Amino acid sequence: KKQVNLLITIDGIAEITAWSILAYLGDISLFMTSGQVTSFVGLNPCVETSGTSIDKTSLSKSGNKRLRKALYMPAIVAKKHNPILAEFYERLIKKGKPKKVALCAVMRKLLVLSFGVLKSGTAFDPNYRKEKAS
């Protein structure tokens, strides 16, 4: 229950999503880095190559599709209501990324934020980066 309360401090993650994250990730201490978590869920970028051709970059989709599915709607909510993720989404759109690609990046970022909150045991603070920069 404590972990659920930590996760719902992130704008975009509600109680059901928090329980889904905890259920599908299992023991968070098994993951050393956020990269391991994103790979486990299949939200890591993967370059598709064949011979000398380098086609495109897409999600690896090798991980838990149920958790990816559970993060989709929260990512839509987060890009509107979470100031950090809204800024991140807009920055990607301005760079010319397609909306779906930017949304998948928000899903990944949401998972990374969740991992950080669970690993540190502290509630999400949207002003954390600004305080560090000052």
How many domains would you assign to the chain? 1
Distance (Å, whole) CA 110 – CA 20: 13
Is 19 within a domain? yes
Note whether residue 29 is domain-resident.
yes
The pTM of the full predicted model, rounded to 2 decimals, is: 0.85
Q: Provide the pLDDT for residue 42.
A: 85
* Per-residue pLDDT tens over the stretch 101-111: 899 999 999 99
pLDDT in the model for residue 134: 47
Is residue 89 in some structural domain? yes
Quick: pLDDT tens for 33-42: 999 999 898 8
In this prediction, residue 46 carries a pLDDT of 73
Per the structure, the complete domain to which residue 16 belongs is given by 2-123
**pLDDT value of residue 60:** 65
Does a structural domain hold residue 134? no
Q: Is residue 129 part of a domain?
A: no
